[in-house]
């Protein structure tokens, strides 16, 4: 499978979460609609993609940052609600990823709280994942 196919598979998992209005693989999609993003927003940022090929097995390793954001009021009065809501969405996403039979996912960093001013005023969580999948090459 190609990197794009793996990313589309991971995106499809994020789209199964009912609370998520938009799940996007960044660098491939625009998250804004007339300058405003659709929230809650689950973003997948691919960082690197490596092959580990040896005699016994072959795997592909995909490193991703996953960011989940929700919109903040201008006075930040709902910041705790944003953190709780996005944390719940991120937990559901990680649970679904861990249940996928061919995706061997390992959380490779602690979750980090973020506040983002671009494209809107938003808050949420960022986490890094390392996903190892079998290298499915065609054999002729």
pLDDT of residue 73: 87
Look at residues 119, 131, 121 and name the one whose alpha carbon lies nearest to residue 66.
131
- The reported pTM is 0.83
Query: What's the rounded mean pLDDT across residues 23-35?
Result: 66
* pLDDT above 90 as % of the chain: 36
Query: pLDDT-based confidence at 137, cuts 50/70/90?
Result: low
- Which segments within the chain are labelled E, that is strand? 22-25, 32-33, 36-37, 41-53, 58-71, 104-107, 112-116, 122-134
CA–CA dist 133, 53 (Å, integer): 12
**83-97 per-position pLDDT tens digit:** 999 999 999 999 999
Q: Where are the domains of the chain?
A: 3-134
Instruction: Please give the pLDDT value at position 119.
Output: 56
Mean pLDDT across the chain, nearest whole number? Answer: 84
19 pLDDT more than 70:
yes
Q: What is the pLDDT of residues 101-126, one digit of tens each?
A: 888 888 988 899 988 776 568 899 99
How far apart (Å, rounded) are the C-alpha atoms in residues 2 and 14?
Answer: 19
Fold of 3-134: Alpha-Beta Plaits (3.30.70)
């Amino acid at each position: 499978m190609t990197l794009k196919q793996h990313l589309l598979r991971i995106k499809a998992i994020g789209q199964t979460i009912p609370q998520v209005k938009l799940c996007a693989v960044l660098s491939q999609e625009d998250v804004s609609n007339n300058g405003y993003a659709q929230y809650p927003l689950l973003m997948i940022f691919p960082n690197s993609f490596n092959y580990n090929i040896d005699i016994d097995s072959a795997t592909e390793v995909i490193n991703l940052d996953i960011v989940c954001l929700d919109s903040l009021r201008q006075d930040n009065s709902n910041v705790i609600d944003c953190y709780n809501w996005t944390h719940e969405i991120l937990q559901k996403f990680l649970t679904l990823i861990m249940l996928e039979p061919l995706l061997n996912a390992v959380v490779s960093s602690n979750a980090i709280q973020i506040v983002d001013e671009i494209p809107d005023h938003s808050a949420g969580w960022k986490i890094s994942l390392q996903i190892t999948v079998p290298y499915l090459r065609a054999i002729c």
